[in-house]
Amino acid sequence: MEQASTEITSSRWKILSGSWLKVLAVTIMLIDHLDAFVWYRLPAFREVLFPIGHREITLYILLRMLGRLAFPIFAFLIVEGFQHTRSRVRYGRNLLLFAFLSEIPWNLVHSGTWHYPSQNVFFTLFLGYLGLCAIEHFKDDKINLLWSLLGLLVFSILLRADYGCSGYGFILLLYVLKDNKILQAIIGSCVLGGRWIAGLAFIPINLYNGKRGFIQGPVAKYLFYLFYPVHLLVIYWIMSHS
């Protein structure tokens, strides 16, 4: 009997490289953050466009919904990076380094001070990456694997990083179901809870062609990492001067 395909899209539709997924995710994230911290003040963004049931939909709400697509794409890229990086230690170190570098810009944007009770999304990505490392390292030791994953889950809750334990679990799910794109999309769309609209991110994810694309070399790679803290600082500057 011929095995059923676990792909959602045919190969001819796989037109997005990893670089284009990065550009897409960064662009969506930028729009979301501008909407959340800057544009929401403008009357045009608060004007009701149409109702859905008892909820009035504004441009602000639509762009915030669009913004939910960024994290699943970033999470997918973490899984891809884990599988293809030349040095998993260096990859994890970079995630942790930029988590700390992004913390002050994150705090400033959210509270206008040096302190904010939750942490930036780089910490969630880092914990998810550690979970992937645990899955591979303890693949023949189920007890230690379970304790490692549970320990990271508890830490993700205590840390209160962006997307929290659901974001951590989402990264693990993407990896565990990497060979079954249909289940990955169905179950992945449910994991992020109230952020159900994030399931639409599986459309560009399933257009991925497996190629790295034009973002190559250390300079381009670190510029991509730097975009997160730098854009938060720019948004904070706009907020404080408007």
Record the pTM. 0.93
Tell me what the mean pLDDT of segment 25-53 comes to: 95
Q: What is the pLDDT of residue 5?
A: 60
Q: What is the pLDDT of residue 201?
A: 94
Q: pLDDT by residue (tens digit) across 76-117?
A: 999 999 999 989 999 999 999 999 999 999 999 999 999 999
pLDDT class of 231 with cuts at 50, 70, 90: very high
Distance CA 127, CA 151 (A): 10
User: With 0-12 CB in 10 A as exposed, 13-18 as middle and 19+ as buried, what is 11?
Assistant: exposed
Question: Which of 14-23, 51-60, 193-202 shows the lowest mean pLDDT across its residues?
Answer: 193-202
Q: What is the pLDDT of residue 1?
A: 43
Structure tokens at 233: 């600082």
Any residues with CB less than 8 A from the CB of 16 and at least 6 apart, and which? 24, 204, 207, 208, 209
Structure tokens at 186: 């169905």
Q: What is the pLDDT of residue 88?
A: 95
Contact predicate 99/228, CB 8 Å: no
Per-residue burial over 126-160, b if 16 or more Cβ lie within 10 Å, else e, is bbbbbbbbbbeebeeeeeebeebbeebbeebeebe
Report domain extents, the chain.
Answer: 11-240
Q: pLDDT by residue (tens digit) across 195-216?
A: 678 889 999 999 999 998 988 8
Q: What is the pLDDT of residue 94?
A: 96
Distance CA 170, CA 79 (A): 10
